[in-house]
Amino acid sequence: MKNIENKMDLVFLGKKEELYTTSEVIAENAEVQHHAVQQLIMKYEADFREFGQVAFEMRAVTYSRGTNYEKIFHLTEEQATLLMTYLKNTERVRSFKKELVRQFYAMREILWKQQYERKTESWQTARLEGKKARRLETNEIKLFVEYAAANGSKQPQWYYTAFTKLAHTAVGITSGGRDASTTGQLLDLRTVERVISRAIVHEISNHTEYHQAFQNVKVKVLQVTALALDSGLALTA
């Protein structure tokens, strides 16, 4: 039996700062088939709608015979609690219920702190400076996209997403994006985006093959973040 305590990946923050868990998370941690959880939600959909819209995403699943699409439900805390009452009250389910409650509470605490911090002058300043750095980075990424396309890339637009994800991952930004970030993360992000901008210009100036150029930029970002971690300093220090 897999231990679920202190596993902080049961609850997620949506783009509109809503907290949710998924039918997939519940199935995995309650040790029931995902199909069975989906069937329960669809059977009692009217009940779930009393606590808000029943949201979902379609996720591609690849099998040996091809690709199929699976419906992953996004459930609010109230909807998740309701769903748990429809499951057998096994020891595993009870343990999962308690941990899910803890994580919804912990995520609300984090969200409240973030919302409060966004009202401060320091956060507003960091966000504004971050937008300036992002505009500069976007200009350089555009140059890289054009560079990759001119050198044979079939999907050069992918690099917009790739460089953005690289920067976010480096400073620990996951769900919620920049507006759900702390002041420290925004300041670090500004630094990382400047590193990316300069590295892109350097690689293009050296006529580096575009695949290798992206890898070189990635290594540069990892070096900068590793140095900050080793020294115990923020990237902006």
**17: which residues sit within 8 A by CB, 6+ positions away?**
111, 115, 176, 180
Give 117-137 pLDDT, tens digit per residue.
666 777 778 778 878 877 878
Give 144-159 pLDDT, tens digit per residue.
999 999 999 999 999 9
Residue 52 has pLDDT above 50, yes or no: yes
Give 188-219 pLDDT, tens digit per residue.
888 898 899 999 999 999 999 999 999 999 99
**Contact by Cβ (8 Å): 152, 146:** no
Residue 64 has pLDDT above 70, yes or no: yes
Residue 236 has pLDDT above 60, yes or no: no
Residue 170 has pLDDT above 90, yes or no: no
pTM, full prediction: 0.50
Give 87-99 pLDDT, tens digit per residue.
988 999 999 999 9
- Which amino acid makes up residue 73? F
Question: Minimum mean pLDDT among 61-65, 113-117, 156-160, 222-226: which range?
Answer: 113-117
Residue 3 has pLDDT above 50, yes or no: no
Q: Which residues pair with 22 in a beta bridge?
A: 74
**Contact by Cβ (8 Å): 192, 170:** yes
